[in-house]
Structure 1
Amino acid sequence: MIEFLFTPDDVARVRFAFSPLWELAHSLRVLADPSRRALHMPWVRAVRPRLRRLDLTPLHALVPADGYIPDFLTPPPESPVPDFATELALVRATPAHSVVEEIRHVGLRSKGTAPLDERRQAMIEEPERTLAHVTDLLGAYWEAALEEYWPRIQSLLETDVLRRSRALTERGAEGLFAGLHEAVRWHGDRLAVQRTWQYRGALAGHGLILVPSVFVWPSVSVMTPPYRPMLSYPVNGVATLWETAPAAPPDALAALIGRRRAGLLLALAGPASTTELARRLAVTPGAISQHLGVLRACGLVTGRRVGRRVLYARTASGDALAEAGGAIDMDVTERD
């Protein structure tokens, strides 16, 4: 069990961030054991042909399907919206002694030292060479497997941050951690995370970094001192990430406001950017913007800037219309 002890200052210093490197590391786990993370199979099928030219053996040696991942591969995000190149530079600057020490723990489910296989033994014998090779390989893997998908991943992560930030503002820590994950529980002044290893410590005014993640699903991941305390959890709506065809809107709603706008209104069950909506509905961002303008003018959706993006969500009136359209359609079906 992991327990973080909170003071009021710690609650005020909870912040959100997400990390391209964090997603990269956990995507390697998906590739190592896709059957346990079947939600991401569309991505696996798309990227495997591109990865044939890369020898990912060193990365898989450091990122097994389960257990500890070297902390130098997943530095806590220093910015709310980190850049992959900046994070990769942090990895490249890792001291050699940290590389050696952390490789010794790879794959463990609890604190301690793991038996070294032949490959990891060779890695710790030449840590500087290992670090240079691994860093280059991380860059090549990012370009082949994740760079194309990062905008849609980032949009989903930003949406989750917005939703949880509202929960923190409206209901405090209890609202923030409610429903985060079945392994996470808030107990008034402490956050408990069910894990196979033990840690209990005060945050001492430093707060906690919350990192929504796509590829950490279906589990959670925790980082404890000497690194900045961090909790990564599955992002809300991860099941929609690889969707390619939207569901048809109810006929009643489509007849009222048009099929395209009806589909857009239903897609806004959670906040989303113009780019993400265009991808989901398979139309151009320009067309999405025009339809959003109409829906905003009718008071059915609203927009809020988060960083460089504007995220759109249904208003209470939009929720009521979407629910009523579905209910009317269901009632007509039942009568038929």
Structure 2
Amino acid sequence: MLSELAFSADDLALTRFAVSPMWEVVTSFRLLTSGSTHPVHRTWVDQVRPRVAVAGLDAGWLAELIPSNGYLPDFLTPPPGELAPTLATELAAIRATSADHVLADLDLLGRTTPRCQALRRDPESRLAQITEEIEAYWELALAPYWAKIHAVLDADLFHRARQVAEYGVGHFFNDLHSTLSWDDNTLRMVRSHCGISRETTGPGLLLVPSVFAVNMLTWSRSPQPPQLAYPARGIGTLWEHRPVTRIDAIAGVLGRSRAVLLTELESPASTTELARRTGVSAAGVSQHLTALRDAGMVSAHRAGRSVLYARTAVAESLLAASA
């Protein structure tokens, strides 16, 4: 299927970028439950898949609404109204989806399971349940890794903005993905399904990079601008192990135990696991993590009966500067 999206001067003026937590939710969940092993995301999948299964999230609302391929309900990815909305902002937009839009999306999804029928009968209360499940999934699967993910997405936006500034929109679109081409003020997309056109969407274009998107994904609902989610650059570095070679420099400021804990948090871990790795008592690890959390260097995320600690963007920047 060949989709063509014509651009007027006004459409180009309304073209913008955004980072969307919900696009990362739907693309990561699709990857996680696909059964395939992604060569780049293997580390993340191996860590997250057992947690999601224990929580029963692999057989809940998300599993119902996010098929392994094909159409994704548009109400799950509302258009971001700003460059980097929070998850809470996007969940509020999902809960505010009109019943007509929910029903239209379910018609396109084509599922008649009990859950989908319940969503048809009572969209308001079911949307509240769906967003609760999304919050649980986010806490398990994405929040502990968000500092790294967001850094890759920000780097992609910087690169794309520079492309537009240096070479213009045509070069940018032609370089964005192999299925896209720009010619004669028209963006052409080779798609297997879900074609879009200017007649069925609003003005402009919203471009959303995603670290988990494997292919181009489109969104269209008039009068909103169409969305185009595309694979972000640099995902090959996302899960790379980056050894810190100058721990002494950090230890001189934070203390050796806290510096060691930060380096051990290359991947999110619990207090018990960190105690086992470092030889520090669990009580000592807990005390140090509390101090690091108060300083904005680690974040805590509940995973069942455990709490996973993860480095924040502040800690990532500190470690990168010392490498």
Partner residue in 2 for 1:243: 240
Give how far 1:103 is off: 1.9
Q: Runs of 5+ in structure 1 lacking a partner?
A: 107-113, 249-274, 292-336
What percent of counterpart residues are identical?
38
Report the alpha carbon displacement of residue 17 of structure 1 after superposing the two structures with TM.
Answer: 0.5
SS in 2 for 1:233: strand
Are 2:312 and 1:289 equivalent residues in the alignment? no
**What does residue 56 of structure 2 align with?**
54
Q: Distance in 2 between matches of 1:224 and 1:103?
A: 15
8 Å CA contact 1:184, 1:194 repeated in 2: yes
Moved over 4 A (4+): 202-205
- Cα 1:156/1:287, change in 2 over 3 Å: closer
Closer/same/farther in 2, CA of residues 153 and 184 from structure 1, 3 Å limit: same
Q: 1:179 to 1:50 in 2, by over 3 A?
A: same
Contact kept, 8 Å, 1:174 with 1:186, in 2: the verdict is: yes
Q: Shift in Å at residue 122 of structure 1?
A: 3.1
Distance in 2, Cα, partners of 1:290 & 1:63: 41
Q: Secondary structure at the match of 1:18?
A: coil
Count how many residue pairs are aligned between Structure 1 and Structure 2: 251
Report the Cα distance in structure 1 between the residues aligned to 2:207 and 2:46, rounded to whole angstroms.
Answer: 30
Where 1:212 maps in the other structure, the secondary structure is strand
CA distance in structure 2 between the partners assigned to 1:194 and 1:36 by the alignment: 25
Note closer, same or farther for the CA distance 1:175–1:30 as it changes in structure 2 (3 Å cut).
Answer: same
Paired residues of 1:6 and 1:204 also in contact (CA < 8 A): no
2:129 aligned residue: 133
Q: Secondary structure, in 3 states, of the residue corresponding to 1:39?
A: coil
One-letter amino acid of the counterpart of residue 289, structure 1: A
* Of 209, 215, 236, the match for 2:206: 209
Which amino acid is the alignment partner of residue 7 of structure 2? F
Distance 2:154 2:174 in 1: 19
* C-alpha contact 1:7 1:204 (8 A) present in aligned 2: no
Map 1:1-336 → 2, pairs under 5 A: 1-35=2-36, 37-51=38-52, 52-56=54-58, 57-106=60-109, 114-195=110-191, 196-201=193-198, 206-217=203-214, 219-226=215-222, 227-245=224-242, 285-286=317-318, 288-289=320-321
Task: Indicate how the Cα distance of structure 1 residues 115 and 72 shifts in structure 2: closer, same or farther if over 3 A, else same.
Answer: closer
RMSD (Å), alpha carbons: 2.6
User: Which residue type is aligned with residue 139 of structure 1?
Assistant: E
- Letter of the structure 2 residue corresponding to residue 22 of structure 1: W
Residue type matched to 2:234 in 1? G
Go from structure 1 to structure 2 and tell me whether the alpha carbon gap of 1:241 and 1:98 turns closer, same or farther (over 3 Å shift).
Answer: same
- The alpha carbon displacement at 1:58 in A equals 1.6
Q: 1:8 to 1:61 in 2, by over 3 A?
A: same
TM-score by length of 2: 0.71
Q: Which amino acid aligns with 2:226?
A: P
CA distance in 1, matches of 2:195, 2:22: 26
- Matched AA of 2:205: L
**CA displacement, residues 171-204 of structure 1 (integer Å, 9 cap, x when unaligned):** 1112211321111111131001111244332699
Deviation of residue 36 (structure 1)?
Answer: 6.2
**TM-score normalized by the length of structure 1:** 0.68
Partner SS state of residue 176, structure 1: helix
Check conservation: 2:201, 2:225, Cα contact below 8 A.
no
